[in-house]
Amino acid sequence: MKNEILGIHHITAIAGNAKKNYDFYTRILGLRLVKKTVNFDDPNTYHFYYGDEYGSPGSILTFFPWEGIGAGRRGTRQVTEIGYSVPAGSLDFWQKRLEENNVIYNKPAVKFGERYLTFLDPDGLKFELTEAQTPDSRPQWETKEVTKAHATHGFHHITMTSNKIAATAAILTGVLGYRLLTKEVNRSRFITDAVAHAAIVDLVEAPGEAIGHVAGGTVHHVAFRVKDEETLMYFRDQIVKLGLNITEKIDRNYFYSLYFREPGGVLFELATDNPGFTIDEPLEELGTHLKLPAQYESNRTIIEGILPKLD
């Protein structure tokens, strides 16, 4: 198999109150809690993974909920929007649902020929629900309140904002295998042909906009997907050849990863499909147990006493 980037693997953001975050994403958005674990560097803080039924790459949104953290600010050098794919005709349902739950939103609009609806989560993180032109058959997670007629399919796109997009675009096209699809005003849409979905990156050029501040309600990093560790290390070599700083391979329990900051300032991760989220829980029990990295297992009782209750 050739070495290629398979679209978006996951997106990691920062939240405040853990229970508010958990309630919003599992109840209001109807996502599955795929994994409940802790921050590798701060075991007294949760690391939540939300996704589809199987925890598929391209559907995984993760959070570090740091209690009491200050609000961040959207701006340049950031991922500024997260786009989900939803079934055609479902935006009326979502508008009503967001309104009933006092969620800040904008009425549906059209971008690149697709209807979308924008909303903010409890910490101010910005999302778009998009009725994709390309039929989306990816598996969904269904709840009593959010059925498959309306449930998200996984990511549709991400948006990154930059004062000048040329250097970021060069990484997307020259290293990660994306191509420019189209442009509207100051928004350029890039796509990879390696996968059918979670394949789009929008770059917004905003020359006069201030640099964003990463804290509550902002994206920490975006991870791009590769098949396995061999492919991961191939791309590491490509990044090194460009003179960019990149980490060594890191074992994140559910995938292996590398981190580097692209020239526009956004933190990129490359993450493998293997070993996946069922390595320590069966599929039917995903997200129902607190899973700790091995180095913290001996402190389980202390950690469980510190972490906020979710129920």
Q: Write the pLDDT tens digit of every residue in 216-258.
A: 999 999 999 999 999 999 999 999 999 999 999 999 999 999 9
Mean pLDDT across the chain: 97
Decide if pLDDT at 43 tops 70: yes
* CA pair distance 299, 309, nearest whole angstrom: 17
Picking from 62, 84, 127, the residue whose alpha carbon sits closest to that of residue 277 is 62
Please state whether beta strands 126-131 and 154-162 pair in parallel, antiparallel, or not at all (unpaired). Answer: unpaired
- Terminal-residue alpha carbon distance, the chain: 45
pLDDT tens digits, one per residue of 124-168 = 999 999 999 888 999 999 999 999 999 999 999 999 999 999 999
- C-beta atoms surrounding 203 within 10 Å: 25
pLDDT tens digits, one per residue of 266-299 = 999 999 999 999 999 999 999 999 999 999 999 9
> Rounded to two decimals, what is the model's pTM?
0.97
Write down the pLDDT at residue 311.
Answer: 84
Write down the pLDDT at residue 1.
Answer: 57
Please state whether beta strands 255-261 and 42-51 pair in parallel, antiparallel, or not at all (unpaired). Answer: unpaired
Decide if pLDDT at 97 tops 90: yes
Q: How many CA atoms lie within 13 A of 160 on its CB side?
A: 27
Decide if pLDDT at 92 tops 80: yes
What SS3 class is residue 81? Answer: strand
**Residue listed under structure tokens 């340049």:** 76
Q: What is the mean pLDDT of residues 31-45?
A: 96
pLDDT tens digits, one per residue of 178-200 = 999 999 999 999 999 999 999 99
What tokens appear for 116 in the block? 């979308």
Give the distance from CA 211 to its chain's centroid.
20
What tokens appear for 132 in the block? 């994709």
Write down the pLDDT at residue 171.
Answer: 98
